[in-house]
């Protein structure tokens, strides 16, 4: 049923991607029953990450939690999740990942919407920093190449490079503008010889982030599924990462970013580029309203979604948790299975 | 029930006090304005009671954090013996000292038969009569500090002893349950005031004598100041009276007429809490112009039995003027030097006035070192009350707060923390020191684990103090532990069930809710604000925090398209930026807010009604054209309305920039202090 979250499949690696228009949450369950949560999203004050973990009764099985980068749209509901899975009274906490130091605006924005999102980022940072201090063993510094076990799977940090981090820190320390997507933490999940890449918001331009990843390990391109980086923006799509590969089908999952009108649907941009490789692209939601939002997933041709002219784009009518999700299930063999939640969209060629 | 015995002369009031004590009243108060002679009457009554066999113990509670310790030390000084030793024991806690004092008083001064002149209906007088100048009474209308509480506790314990009668001289109202209260009326004997040789010698005295003959009441101090300004400038007093200047303005005129050195002298004298001698006077006004000195001696200062005194009204006014911290510190240092000298002198030769004892000078010296924030000097004098470490911690902490964010500020906060550590080394059960050690460390934001430890210890020692709870909760929120903060909130609301006095909501709910709003913890903030009773909910800060909560809710729901100036009920009655006469020509309109800019376009968050939200994108050129203004970059967060006219044209109108809410409390300390300190943001941790 599209209105409910799918059942657990004990022998499969399951990756649940949420993206209700603003924000992105990736939840990975690796057999036998270990969990990882990356980033967060929310509607109002409902934390999708926390609700998902509660739904599956998995609080005590969460092993890894990370904020891929401290951007306003990725921190929604994150602090609540950390607070719940790493309570003071619990003797064991998951590893908590964060690129630190992180940039702080240093002042409260007069725009209440920006101020609210900044506040939630700060709370997310505080929730991890405080716990690192109290139990240093929970620190996951997320250096490139760092590998952690997640059940039968392994999670490896692909980015950013030390040089990229240094550039970012220097910019933050000097209060210079910097595209923080350059230091987003992309992760690779390996399970029974198969790879999934969680691209976070890592961009190729500027900073050549994906080129650096592939220099680090050429085999990253052999992924069986990609959580497409940075909402499918052209700056994040790196052709070698997307290109067809022997005996591997391509599965692309995209989360939208409504205020940036991402992903785009032109033939040679965003989803169009992905469709040149794969027959379909899976979106957790559209960056705008569609008429089957609250019901079963929509299946639509790309051309139907291309430029909407100067008319205004009405919001996705997010019916509330659990919505706007796509689950990617990986068996030990065979192609990945995709399950769609309400609000999600399958975009096909043509 | 209070009695008002107004319009009695001093002698009659004295007799009334004596009579009532002999009749068995154990608590009496003399009230009235400052400097009307309450203490004199009280001393006279005490002397009379002393002659009839009562043991008389005099004490006073000076302004400042050490009112309790000073009063206790003065009592102990007079009781002597083991009690004095305990009070002077550096390692004894306040509680131990208080119990020793009470035990000594219980056994002191056996009841003595009435005096020779005892009235027929009089009963036996109490064994001990304690007179207290400026006592502190408990209050329920505001938060109190440990310093207030100690003074109040001392008064309460003294007054609770059956064999002790307590006579209080207070310039402020005494509680209704204290006992009989006799009001000493203000009665300026103009002739007597102006006959004072120091005044009479001033040039303005004659003119003021004529002016003061008018049937308008003038206080002695007012008369003195009038003489002084008249002396300085002819007709000044006439002008001041014609302008009906209040006393503060008269004092300002007088102070302004003095040279810089004389003004510095006034500042130095204004920090004194006891009378001072000629040598001190000379050092305070060193360098003052010859023309100023007669005014100082004649009009500003009053000569009392113990020495020179700068009247409170003038001292308060002097300190209220713009004063450099360095000048104030210098004044306190000179005062400390005076008391060090006086301590040595009185140690060798006890003074007539018990309130000017060596112990008093010793404590006054400590008081001034506290005011300067000189922890090293204070420590060297081994204060026998831990309160002085608490007080200097407070002084240094306040300096640190005033300069928060600067190196000086951090240095003060570190010293404050040191002071509280000294206090705890003497008394580890000092809840105040635990709390403020935690608070100062919290401001420094370097050692959060210690912060939590000491906040929790303060709560364990004194769970009835609301600040202890409030600051732990805000610390936990700051540290990203909202679940722990919520549990602590449950504890505190259970401990302080409704109704509570209004100040409690201001001290607890206001900062907690404000921080929660600052961190976007909206559900929790709503719970805190929802717990306010109607009276607190109507306060400006609460209304302001609720307004912010509503805006942040809109922001969280991504529905922020109206400025705060448009009430929710009026939102969809627009367009608000189009003249009412033109509204019939509007085909459609959208409320909106500039949400973001990227390299190419501006994103506008818009809504056509309360349920339909969306976005539009404009290039800078399109936006400029639709605004109909010269090229302008409209900032993120600016509210606007998009109007589509029936003719097909479209226009964008901008709401005025939003202004800050003046009633919204500031967030202090900054919520991100732990995020901006610690690891340096320079190198990757590879």
Tokens 């684990």: give the residue. B449
Asked if A179 reaches chain B (Cβ–Cβ under 8 Å), the answer is no
Asked if B556 reaches chain A (Cβ–Cβ under 8 Å), the answer is yes
Q: Rounded to an integer, what distance in angstroms lies between the CA atom of residue A312 and that of residue B618?
A: 11
pTM: 0.90
Q: Rounded to an integer, what distance in angstroms lies between the CA atom of residue B609 and that of residue B613?
A: 8
Chain A residues closer than 8 Å to B612 by CB: 314
Contact B680, A172 (CB under 8 A): no
Asked if B526 reaches chain A (Cβ–Cβ under 8 Å), the answer is no
Please judge whether B556 and A108 are an interchain contact, meaning their C-beta atoms are less than 8 angstroms apart. no
Distance from CA of A47 to the nearest CA of B (A): 12
Report the residue from A44, A108, A310 with minimal CB separation from B556.
A44
Closest CA to B23 of B130, B123, B163, B128: B123
Kindly report the number of other CB atoms within 10 A of residue B52's CB atom: 20
Please judge whether A127 and B481 are an interchain contact, meaning their C-beta atoms are less than 8 angstroms apart. yes
Tokens 């005096």: give the residue. B115
Residues 77-96 of A with CB under 8 A from B: 79-80, 82-84, 87-88
Which three-class secondary structure state does DSSP give residue A160? coil
Please judge whether A289 and B518 are an interchain contact, meaning their C-beta atoms are less than 8 angstroms apart. no
Please judge whether A119 and B518 are an interchain contact, meaning their C-beta atoms are less than 8 angstroms apart. yes
Per-residue pLDDT band at B5 (split at 50, 70, 90): very low
Please list, in sequence order, all residues whose beta carbon lies within 8 angstroms of the beta carbon of residue B11, skipping any fewer than 6 positions away. none
Please judge whether A259 and B605 are an interchain contact, meaning their C-beta atoms are less than 8 angstroms apart. yes
Report the residue from B523, B554, B674 with minimal CB separation from A45.
B523
**B212-268 pLDDT per residue, tens:** 665 556 677 888 888 889 888 888 887 887 788 888 999 999 999 999 999 999 999
Dihedrals φ, ψ of A46, to 5°?
A: -85, 120
A320: left (phi over 0), alpha (psi -120 to 50) or beta: left
Contact B310, B270 (CB under 8 A): yes
Closest CA to B311 of B260, B275, B280: B275
Asked if B617 reaches chain A (Cβ–Cβ under 8 Å), the answer is yes
Q: Rounded to an integer, what distance in angstroms lies between the CA atom of residue A317 and that of residue A307?
A: 20
Say yes or no to pLDDT of B641 above 50: yes
Report the residue from A116, A130, A170 with minimal CB separation from B479.
A130
Q: Rounded to an integer, what distance in angstroms lies between the CA atom of residue B212 and that of residue B220?
A: 11
Asked if A162 reaches chain B (Cβ–Cβ under 8 Å), the answer is yes
Q: Which DSSP category does B665 fall into?
A: P
Q: Rounded to an integer, what distance in angstroms lies between the CA atom of residue B315 and that of residue B272?
A: 9
- Given this model, what pLDDT does residue A293 score? 59
Asked if B7 reaches chain A (Cβ–Cβ under 8 Å), the answer is no
Chain A residues closer than 8 Å to B518 by CB: 108, 119
Distance from CA of A224 to the nearest CA of B (A): 29
Minimal-distance CA residue of chain A relative to B477 = A123
**A202-215 pLDDT per residue, tens:** 999 999 999 999 99
Minimal-distance CA residue of chain B relative to A102 = B681
Closest CA to B626 of B609, B607, B601: B601
Please judge whether B637 and A84 are an interchain contact, meaning their C-beta atoms are less than 8 angstroms apart. no
Residues 208-247 of A with CB under 8 A from B: none
Burial of B337 (0-12, 13-18, 19+ CB in 10 A): middle
**A53-107 pLDDT per residue, tens:** 999 999 999 999 999 998 888 999 999 999 999 999 999 999 999 988 777 755 6
Q: Stretch B645-660: mean pLDDT, rounded?
A: 92
Closest CA to A84 of A121, A51, A122, A130: A51
Mutate to test the interface with A, among B517, B556, B666 (most CBs of A within 10 A): B556
Closest CA to B339 of B25, B98, B672, B66: B66
Asked if B449 reaches chain A (Cβ–Cβ under 8 Å), the answer is yes
Chain A residues closer than 8 Å to B636 by CB: 109, 111, 114
C-alpha distance across the termini of chain A, in Å: 28
User: Taking every pair of C-alpha atoms in chain A, what is the biggest distance, in angstroms?
Assistant: 56
- Given this model, what pLDDT does residue B289 score? 93
Please judge whether B614 and A313 are an interchain contact, meaning their C-beta atoms are less than 8 angstroms apart. yes
Report the residue from A101, A130, A260 with minimal CB separation from B598.
A260
Angle of CA points B436, B439, B445, to nearest 5°: 145
CA dihedral defined by B453, B455, B460, B461, rounded to 10 degrees? 110
Asked if A74 reaches chain B (Cβ–Cβ under 8 Å), the answer is no
- Of the given ranges (A187-191, A314-318, B384-388, B408-412), which has the lowest mean pLDDT? A314-318
- Given this model, what pLDDT does residue B634 score? 87
Distance from CA of A252 to the nearest CA of B (A): 26
**Alpha helix positions (H), B496-533:** 502-507, 509-518, 522-530
Sign of CA dihedral A141, A142, A143, A146: positive
Give the count of Cβ contacts less than 8 A between chain A and B: 156
Please judge whether A111 and B523 are an interchain contact, meaning their C-beta atoms are less than 8 angstroms apart. no
Beta strands in chain A (DSSP E): 13-18, 24-30, 34-40, 42-43, 46-47, 62-67, 95-98, 139-140, 147-150, 153-157, 187-191, 194-198, 225-227, 252-254, 280-283, 298-301, 313-314, 325-330, 337-340, 345-348
DSSP string, B552-592: HHHHHTT---S-TTS-GGGGGG--TTS-GGGGGGEEEEEEE
Please judge whether A129 and B522 are an interchain contact, meaning their C-beta atoms are less than 8 angstroms apart. no
Q: Rounded to an integer, what distance in angstroms lies between the CA atom of residue B477 and that of residue A206?
A: 36
Please judge whether B637 and A259 are an interchain contact, meaning their C-beta atoms are less than 8 angstroms apart. no
- Given this model, what pLDDT does residue B600 score? 79
Residues 94-113 of A with CB under 8 A from B: 100-102, 104, 106, 108-113
- Of the given ranges (A125-129, B364-368, B575-579, B612-616), which has the lowest mean pLDDT? B612-616
- Given this model, what pLDDT does residue B123 score? 45
Contact A24, A39 (CB under 8 A): yes
Please judge whether A115 and B596 are an interchain contact, meaning their C-beta atoms are less than 8 angstroms apart. no
Residues 298-327 of A with CB under 8 A from B: 310, 312-315
Contact B595, B615 (CB under 8 A): yes
Mean pLDDT score of chain B, rounded to an integer? 89
Please judge whether B558 and A315 are an interchain contact, meaning their C-beta atoms are less than 8 angstroms apart. yes
Asked if B560 reaches chain A (Cβ–Cβ under 8 Å), the answer is yes
**B246-258 pLDDT per residue, tens:** 889 999 999 999 9
Closest CA to A304 of A350, A270, A343: A350
Chain B residues closer than 8 Å to A261 by CB: 603, 615, 617
Asked if B664 reaches chain A (Cβ–Cβ under 8 Å), the answer is no
DSSP string, B252-274: HHHHHTS-HHHHHHHHHHHT-SS
Burial of A224 (0-12, 13-18, 19+ CB in 10 A): buried
Residues 231-260 of B with CB under 8 A from A: none
Chain A residues closer than 8 Å to B520 by CB: 116-117, 119-120, 123
**Alpha helix positions (H), chain A:** 48-55, 78-85, 112-134, 162-173, 209-216, 239-242, 271-275
**A317-338 pLDDT per residue, tens:** 667 889 999 999 999 988 899 9
Distance from CA of B608 to the nearest CA of A (A): 10
Please judge whether A42 and B557 are an interchain contact, meaning their C-beta atoms are less than 8 angstroms apart. no
- Given this model, what pLDDT does residue B684 score? 41
- Dig out the tokens for B682 from the structure: 């320079």
Distance from CA of B682 to the nearest CA of A (A): 5
Mutate to test the interface with A, among B524, B684, B685, B686 (most CBs of A within 10 A): B684
- Dig out the tokens for B551 from the structure: 């805006």
Asked if A45 reaches chain B (Cβ–Cβ under 8 Å), the answer is yes
Element (H, E) at B308: strand B307-309
- Given this model, what pLDDT does residue B32 score? 87
Q: Rounded to an integer, what distance in angstroms lies between the CA atom of residue B433 and that of residue B65?
A: 14
Chain A residues closer than 8 Å to B591 by CB: none
Chain A residues closer than 8 Å to B548 by CB: 112
**B142-168 pLDDT per residue, tens:** 778 889 999 999 999 999 999 999 999
Residues 461-500 of B with CB under 8 A from A: 478-484
Say yes or no to pLDDT of B682 above 50: no
Say yes or no to pLDDT of B116 above 80: no
- Given this model, what pLDDT does residue B582 score? 93
Chain A residues closer than 8 Å to B482 by CB: 79-80, 83, 123
What are the counts of helices (DSSP H) followed by strands (DSSP E) for chain B?
32, 12
Please list, in sequence order, all residues whose beta carbon lies within 8 angstroms of the beta carbon of residue A22, skipping any fewer than 6 positions away. A41, A73, A76, A257, A258, A259, B558
Query: What is the ipTM score, two decimals?
Result: 0.95
Give Cα separations from B399 to B64, B144, B394 (angstroms): 16, 20, 9
What are the counts of helices (DSSP H) followed by strands (DSSP E) for chain A?
7, 20
Chain B residues closer than 8 Å to A260 by CB: 596, 598, 603
**B43-74 pLDDT per residue, tens:** 999 999 999 889 999 999 999 999 999 999 99
């Amino acid at each position: 049923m599209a209105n409910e979250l799918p059942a657990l499949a004990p022998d499969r690696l399951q990756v649940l991607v949420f993206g209700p228009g603003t924000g992105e949450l990736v939840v990975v369950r690796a057999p036998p029953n270990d969990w990882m949560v990356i980033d967060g999203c929310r509607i109002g004050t409902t934390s999708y990450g926390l609700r998902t973990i509660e739904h599956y009764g998995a609080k005590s099985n969460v092993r890894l939690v990370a904020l891929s980068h401290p951007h306003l749209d990725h921190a929604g509901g994150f602090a609540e999740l950390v607070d719940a899975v790493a309570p003071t009274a619990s003797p064991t906490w998951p590893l908590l990942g964060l690129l630190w130091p992180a940039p702080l605006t240093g002042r409260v924005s007069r725009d209440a919407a920006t101020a609210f999102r900044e506040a939630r980022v700060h709370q997310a940072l505080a929730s991890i920093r405080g716990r690192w201090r109290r139990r240093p063993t929970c620190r996951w510094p997320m250096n490139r190449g760092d590998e952690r076990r997640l059940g039968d799977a392994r999670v490896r940090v692909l980015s950013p490079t030390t040089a990229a981090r240094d550039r970012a820190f220097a910019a933050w320390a000097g209060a210079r503008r910097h595209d923080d997507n350059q230091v987003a933490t992309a992760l690779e999940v390996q399970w029974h010889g198969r790879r999934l890449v969680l691209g976070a918001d890592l961009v190729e331009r500027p900073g050549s982030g994906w080129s650096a990843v592939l220099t680090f390990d050429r085999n990253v391109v052999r992924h069986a599924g990609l959580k497409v980086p940075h909402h499918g923006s052209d700056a994040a799509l790196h052709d070698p990462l997307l290109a067809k590969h022997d005996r591997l089908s391509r599965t692309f999952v995209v989360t939208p970013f409504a205020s940036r009108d991402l992903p785009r649907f032109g033939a040679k941009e965003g989803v169009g580029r992905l469709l040149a490789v794969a027959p379909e692209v899976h979106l957790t939601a559209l960056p705008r309203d569609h008429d089957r939002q609250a019901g079963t997933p929509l299946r639509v041709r790309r051309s139907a979604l291309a430029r909407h002219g100067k008319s205004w784009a009405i919001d996705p009518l997010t019916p509330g948790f659990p919505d706007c999700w796509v689950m990617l299930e990986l068996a030990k063999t065979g192609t990945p299975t995709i399950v769609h939640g309400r609000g999600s969209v399958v975009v096909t060629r043509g | 029930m209070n009695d008002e015995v107004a319009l009695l002369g001093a002698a009659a009031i004295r007799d009334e006090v004596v009579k009532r004590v002999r009749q068995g009243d154990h608590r009496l108060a003399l009230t009235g304005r400052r400097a009307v002679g309450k203490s004199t009457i009280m001393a006279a009554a005490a002397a009379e009671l002393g002659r009839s066999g009562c043991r008389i113990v005099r004490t006073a509670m000076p302004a400042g954090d050490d009112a309790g310790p000073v009063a206790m030390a003065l009592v102990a000084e007079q009781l002597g013996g083991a009690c004095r030793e305990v009070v002077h024991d550096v390692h004894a806690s306040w509680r131990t000292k208080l119990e020793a004092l009470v035990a000594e008083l219980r056994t002191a001064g056996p009841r003595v038969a009435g005096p020779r002149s005892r009235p027929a209906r009089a009963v036996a007088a109490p064994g001990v009569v304690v007179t207290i100048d400026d006592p502190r009474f408990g209050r329920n209308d505001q938060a109190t500090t440990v310093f207030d509480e100690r003074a109040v506790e001392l008064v309460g314990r003294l007054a609770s002893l059956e064999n002790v009668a307590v006579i209080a001289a207070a310039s402020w109202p005494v509680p209704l349950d204290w006992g009989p209260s006799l009001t000493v009326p203000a009665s300026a004997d103009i002739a007597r005031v102006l006959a004072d040789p120091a005044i009479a010698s001033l040039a303005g005295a004659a003119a003021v004598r004529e002016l003061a003959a008018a049937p308008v009441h003038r206080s002695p101090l007012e008369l003195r100041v009038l003489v002084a300004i008249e002396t300085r400038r002819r007709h000044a007093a006439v002008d001041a009276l014609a302008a009906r200047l209040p006393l503060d303005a008269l004092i300002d005129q007088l102070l302004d007429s003095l040279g810089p050195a004389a003004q510095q002298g006034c500042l130095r004298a204004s920090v004194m809490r006891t009378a001072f001698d000629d040598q001190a006077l000379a050092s305070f006004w060193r360098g003052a112009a010859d023309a100023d000195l007669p005014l100082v001696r004649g009009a500003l200062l009053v000569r009392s039995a113990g020495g020179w005194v700068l009247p409170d009204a003038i001292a308060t006014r002097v300190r209220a003027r713009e004063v450099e911290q360095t000048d104030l510190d210098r004044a306190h240092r000179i005062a400390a030097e005076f008391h060090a000298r006086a301590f040595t002198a009185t140690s060798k030769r006890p003074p007539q006035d018990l309130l000017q004892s060596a112990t008093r000078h010793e404590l006054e010296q400590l008081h001034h070192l506290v005011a300067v924030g000189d922890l090293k000097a204070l420590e060297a004098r081994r204060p026998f009350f831990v309160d002085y470490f608490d007080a200097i911690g407070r002084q240094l902490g306040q300096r640190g707060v005033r300069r928060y964010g600067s190196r000086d500020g951090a240095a003060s906060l570190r010293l404050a923390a040191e002071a509280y550590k000294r206090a705890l080394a003497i008394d580890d059960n000092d809840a105040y020191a635990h709390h403020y050690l935690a608070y100062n460390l919290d401001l420094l934001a370097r050692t959060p684990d210690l912060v939590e430890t000491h906040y929790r210890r303060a709560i364990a020692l004194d769970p009835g103090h609301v600040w202890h709870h409030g600051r732990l909760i805000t610390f936990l929120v700051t540290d990203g532990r909202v679940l722990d903060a919520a549990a602590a909130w449950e504890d505190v609301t259970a401990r302080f069930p409704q109704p509570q006095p209004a100040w409690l909501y201001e001290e607890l709910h206001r900062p907690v809710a404000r921080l929660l709003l600052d961190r976007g913890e909206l559900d929790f903030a709503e719970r805190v604000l929802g717990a306010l009773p109607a009276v607190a909910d109507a306060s400006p800060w609460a209304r302001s925090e609720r307004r912010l909560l509503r805006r942040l809710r809109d922001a969280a729901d991504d529905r922020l398209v109206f400025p705060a100036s448009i009430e929710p009920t009026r939102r969809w009655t627009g367009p608000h930026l189009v003249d009412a006469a033109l509204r019939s020509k509007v085909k459609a309109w959208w409320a909106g807010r500039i949400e973001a800019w990227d390299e190419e376009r501006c994103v506008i968050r818009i809504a056509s009604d309360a349920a339909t939200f969306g976005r539009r994108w404009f290039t800078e050129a399109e936006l400029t054209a639709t605004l109909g203004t010269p090229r302008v970059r409209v900032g993120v967060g600016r509210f606007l309305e998009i109007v589509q006219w029936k003719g097909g044209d479209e226009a964008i109108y901008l709401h005025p920039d939003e202004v800050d809410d003046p009633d919204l409390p500031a967030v202090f300390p900054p919520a991100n202090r732990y995020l901006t300190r610690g690891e340096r943001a320079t190198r990757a941790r590879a």
